[in-house]
Chains A and B, each alone.
Chain A
Amino acid sequence: MSKETILRVREVSKSFGGVKAVDNVSFDLAKGEILGIIGPNGSGKTTLINLITGFVKKDSGEVFFKDRNISKLPPHRIADLGVTRTFQIMRPYYTLPAFKNLIVPLYSPRARRGAGGGLGDRDAVAIDLLEEVGFERDAHVPYKLASTLPLGYLKRLELSRCLALKPEVVIGDEVFSGLSMAEIASMVRLMEKLQMRGITLIMVEHRLRELFMLANRVMVMNFGKKIAEGVPGEVMGSKEVREAYLGTEEG
């Protein structure tokens, strides 16, 4: 894991009406690390993701990806550069088989560049991608209709949507939420696998225990502000963080 900074977020803020959803947040993301972002509900985590990836316009502040200022770029350009994100509310094509859901990201310019310009057989590439995230090919899982898949698979489908773009950064918006213990365990292994492949991860989560197993560093938000940052152990020891979490943590 190198110390090179791949993403720099500087003093980013956004207000909706009178409410400051994100208040002057700054942090650095080192290449190859897993950064966890935690905080109680409504602390502005999802908004922060939207601001970084261009889905919502910032009021102020800047974001740099590998020394390139991406603050004013539209979301598809940011994704094209290799900064991808998942959505908490997923809307796959329910009436189509799972692998067909990957055709759209595989159609994107970035995916096509990665394949060396050729369009190739997208169906086959899609199935390979799904196998990598744990869809068992032998059991024909990739061919199942998306409407028949349990949540764990849908979450992995959502992740593979990002992976189809051969990303450098993946920002996961609560990938653990709603999953059973077994599903979480395999998701943890998947994230480790992604890190080993060199992808830098930001994971916004509620489930602290599993996140702390994965994350190299953790950032805590509350009411839109960053209130702590550092190694999981020392962050959880901070008084402010404990106060912010009174009564929120579920095992």
Chain B
Amino acid sequence: MESTARRKERLDRGIKVRTSGIYSVSSLREIAYLVVPRAVLILGLLILPLVLPNRYWQRVICRTGVIALLALGFDFLADYVGIISLGGALFIGVGGYVAGVSNAWLGLPPALTIPIATLVGAVICTLLLLPCLPLRGIYFAIITLMYPLVLHRIIEALHIFGGTEGISGLATFPNIWVDQYLVIVVILVALFGLRRLVNEDIGLVLHGIKDNDQAVRASGMNITWYKARAVFITAAIGCFAGAYLTHLYGLVGISMFSLDFSILPIAAFVVGGPGTLVGPVLGAFILTPLTEVLREIGTLRIVVYCLVLVAFIVFKPEGLMKYFQRKYHQFERWIKV
């Protein structure tokens, strides 16, 4: 009796194979195959502010940018170094407060406070997280989760940095175009920068730390130091986002430590495609406008993105980006077994 069982087979498309290595410049078609997705991404992001209907949505893009940066940082840390950070809020809060304080008390303009907040904030965050770096991932996750909650309470209890009301009346950006393009440009720079980084040799080291840290240790390298540097990069990205947010609205308060900033990037990461760097950015651009639409239902929107997150983790852990990549690079067909 003949069995008519079939299975799906996935093969790389011809053009994908033809574009590996030096052959990628052999003809316009191959070049286009490689360049078009990236061009679409870059141009798409750059054109976005110009095609939006009104100011409201342009504001949404700004917030989306913040989440996208956090999601990018999270993806880098989680899939390229193997560290799970549940504390996007920590980076936003620290970066935001450093920027706010430098602006309010030291009178520095945003052009200075933002770089300062990025670097100093990253140093502070890395130092705060240093004790957990040698430990197992779960401890790091716990600590990054707790820090925002506790810093929130310390500021509240001690009434420092403006206490519960926060500091307002800070400098803002000159116009709506700077608002949007600043964050978009930084996203592109961070995205391509990180992609470059993980393809370099040091990216292999970080990957080794994720997969087989004993072997990396046995090769004479201090894992904690490498992890610290990776955390520093992610923290810098997050602190920039926080500083940007401060000067976007002209105020900083304990709402910067809200769980929103911890959970939404993770949702974007899961939906968009873990491990692809681009995916989480995409996920952020999908989810954040969605949450704006859901704004009427108030805090229920957290419920919505949590449920979406869980749904994706359970049913489609590869995320959207990997799905698209698969469709682009490979074709499927049923074959007889």
> CB distance B218 to A91 under 8 Å?
no
Chain A interface helix/strand/loop/mixed: helix
Contact-residue bracket for chain B: 10 to 19
For A105, list chain B residues within 8 Å (CB). Answer: 219-220
Q: Kindly state whether residue A107 has any CB partner on chain B within 8 Å.
A: yes
B→A interface (CB under 8 Å): 201-202, 204-205, 207-208, 211-212, 214-223
> CB distance A85 to B218 under 8 Å?
yes
> CB distance A79 to B218 under 8 Å?
yes
For B218, list chain A residues within 8 Å (CB). Answer: 53, 55, 75-76, 79, 84-85, 87, 161-162
> CB distance B219 to A164 under 8 Å?
yes
Closest A residue to B225 by CB, please name it: A76
Closest B residue to A96 by CB, please name it: B204
> CB distance A87 to B214 under 8 Å?
yes
> CB distance A100 to B204 under 8 Å?
yes
> CB distance A75 to B217 under 8 Å?
yes
Q: Kindly state whether residue A103 has any CB partner on chain B within 8 Å.
A: yes
Q: Which of the residues B204, B214, B222 comes within 8 Å of A104, measured between beta carbons? A: B204
Closest B residue to A162 by CB, please name it: B218
Q: Which of the residues A87, A109, A162 comes within 8 Å of B221, measured between beta carbons? A: A109
For B217, list chain A residues within 8 Å (CB). Answer: 55, 74-76, 79
Closest B residue to A100 by CB, please name it: B204
Q: Kindly state whether residue A220 has any CB partner on chain B within 8 Å.
A: no
A187 to chain B, nearest CB (A): 20
A168 to chain B, nearest CB (A): 12
> CB distance B219 to A108 under 8 Å?
yes
Q: Kindly state whether residue A57 has any CB partner on chain B within 8 Å.
A: no
- Report A104-145 residues with CB < 8 Å from chain B CB: 104-105, 107-111, 122
Closest A residue to B211 by CB, please name it: A91
> CB distance A76 to B223 under 8 Å?
yes
Closest A residue to B221 by CB, please name it: A108
Give bound CA distance, A199 to B219, whole Å. 17
Given A79-B219, A100-B204, 10 further pairs, Cβ under 8 A:
A74-B217, A76-B220, A76-B221, A91-B215, A93-B207, A103-B205, A104-B216, A107-B205, A108-B221, A109-B221
Q: Kindly state whether residue A165 has any CB partner on chain B within 8 Å.
A: yes
> CB distance B220 to A108 under 8 Å?
yes
Chain B interface helix/strand/loop/mixed: helix
Closest A residue to B207 by CB, please name it: A93
Closest A residue to B218 by CB, please name it: A79
> CB distance B208 to A104 under 8 Å?
yes
For B216, list chain A residues within 8 Å (CB). Answer: 76, 104
For B214, list chain A residues within 8 Å (CB). Answer: 55, 75, 87
Q: Kindly state whether residue A183 has any CB partner on chain B within 8 Å.
A: no
Give bound CA distance, A211 to B177, whole Å. 73
Give bound CA distance, A77 to B220, whole Å. 6
For B220, list chain A residues within 8 Å (CB). Answer: 76-77, 79-80, 84, 105, 108-111, 165
Give bound CA distance, A77 to B222, whole Å. 8
Give bound CA distance, A214 to B222, whole Å. 34
A93 to chain B, nearest CB (A): 7
Closest A residue to B209 by CB, please name it: A104
> CB distance A93 to B202 under 8 Å?
no
B324 to chain A, nearest CB (A): 21
A98 to chain B, nearest CB (A): 13
> CB distance B204 to A91 under 8 Å?
no
Give bound CA distance, A87 to B221, whole Å. 16
- Report A160-187 residues with CB < 8 Å from chain B CB: 161-162, 164-165
B209 to chain A, nearest CB (A): 9
Give bound CA distance, A83 to B34, whole Å. 45
> CB distance A93 to B211 under 8 Å?
yes
Give bound CA distance, A251 to B2, whole Å. 46
For B223, list chain A residues within 8 Å (CB). Answer: 76
A91 to chain B, nearest CB (A): 5
A107 with B202, Cβ < 8 A, contacts A76-B220, A76-B221 known? yes
For A87, list chain B residues within 8 Å (CB). Answer: 214-215, 218
> CB distance A161 to B215 under 8 Å?
yes
For B215, list chain A residues within 8 Å (CB). Answer: 87, 91, 104, 161
